[in-house]
Amino acid sequence: MSWLPDDFVHPVHVPVPTTALHLRPIREADTAIDYPAVMGSRERLWEIFGPAWAWPPATMTYEEDRADLLRHEQEIAAHQSFNYALLDEEETALLGCVYVDPPERVGADAEISWWVVDDLVGGEAERALDALVPRWIAADWPFQQPRFLGRDIIWPEWLALPHPS
């Protein structure tokens, strides 16, 4: 049984209100803008995602990032999980990501997390994304119990939850 209805159509362009930014599904072709965004914010991203996903490793190469984005692109096409890139209007800069994933732990029907590059932390764009994501998930996704990792549950508490049987 799929975690999404068979007829679900995922959003392909999501404007971030009050900004010139938008979300769209990430692609392998985004490696040239993803790699510097991830590695430029790597230490902070590791503090957030490292304990759960061992990402992003300090030694991640451009080619490893490209392979990771190809995997994400394929998972999106198969509706297995979703990685949305936060992009500027011209799509010349990747400024963060939003992940919409099937639950890895009990108590939710989806797990959502997101990040912005270091330069946007604490600023208007991050606040706009923080406000958008829960509203967007409620409006455009078919979940009854989404869990916002690092938001409504801290990562150590999430890691302590059991896996679904």
Segments making up each domain of the chain, as ranges: 14-158
Q: Give pTM, 2 decimals.
A: 0.97
Q: What is the pLDDT of residues 95-126, one digit of tens each?
A: 999 999 999 999 999 999 999 999 999 999 99
Residue 69 pLDDT greater than 60, yes or no: yes
Q: What is the pLDDT of residues 127-156, one digit of tens each?
A: 999 999 999 999 999 999 999 999 999 999
Structure tokens at 25: 């599904």
Give the CATH architecture of domain 14-158. Answer: 3-Layer(aba) Sandwich (3.40)
Can you tell me whether residue 72 is helix, strand or coil? helix
What pLDDT sits at residue 48? 95
